[in-house]
Structure 1
């Protein structure tokens, strides 16, 4: 299939406007949209077609509160890394949308799945984690194309989340995702806009 210049431009626009969203409205996301988003993960590249990602939709309010408690604890520890002005800047950052995001997904990676029969991962076993990361990115872009926002919460203790959700042995916590309608649209990363860390250009070196 050949894509038009207009379609290429649309993809570039989606990429530029994909942001790590932390500010959500409380409006629910309809189930038809969620099903479309679920199906997009099937399009993600995967080493050996192993499809190592597993997703749990966390709807239970008690579980959500325990995730928030884990975040608060881990965030307080992370804040100790900074002193002075940087400490104050860190505390001012909004680093999660856990309070109001209507859809919350915990994503896990299976470390040695039967699927794929080991193809392509003998010398680079981390390609399983890379495959799961690409599935998350595929979902992220698809959500943006649906005019939704997605944010990844990385300030969580992995083993605590695995225990909290009672996942099988061999499931490794990869990401906790908040999904919903963003309060506002922005094509500039929040950390860039707040002055924490500006975007830098990717450099391609030649040999």
Structure 2
């Protein structure tokens, strides 16, 4: 489990309002704490995976974009059209400063997203399917905003994979014909300083 005091705090959150408040507090130190102190490599892993999954001309939604770490990495791969959603205004302000996003919107990923159907060519979601944050119910909205055949590349913290029943949620979406499971990598590095791992999921909208 997390040792960093802010990570402990955000992993114990019980409501979207508490989530917003905590990340507003953490925004200015988030990049330093996660990258320098925790060895947070999940953004790089997911960005690299998306870069070999869709062409760089794709319109990408970064769901739970935080300070924009993933967006910056995607821009480094050559992606030009990236939108971001996050619940924290302060995190979005940091992301905006990176100047790699077309649009940034405040949104709660546990609710209906303020986006049209069939709008994106890909969704990337990193560091959001984790303790005290967002559960598998958010996958349905990601499917809705994606065009047919578009992928979701997402990390799911290993310690919540079974407790929050992600396998059953993905199975249900497959059985309903909403998406197809392309690849689920087990125990991919997430935060190297403490050895935390995640599932790296590649799912495709049917």
Same fold flag (TM > 0.5) = no
Larger strand proportion, structure 1 or 2?
A: 2
Question: Please, what TM-score do these two structures have when normalized by structure 2?
Answer: 0.25
Question: Please, what TM-score do these two structures have when normalized by structure 1?
Answer: 0.25
**Max Rg structure:** 1
Q: Which has the higher contact order (CA 8 A, sep 6+)?
A: 1
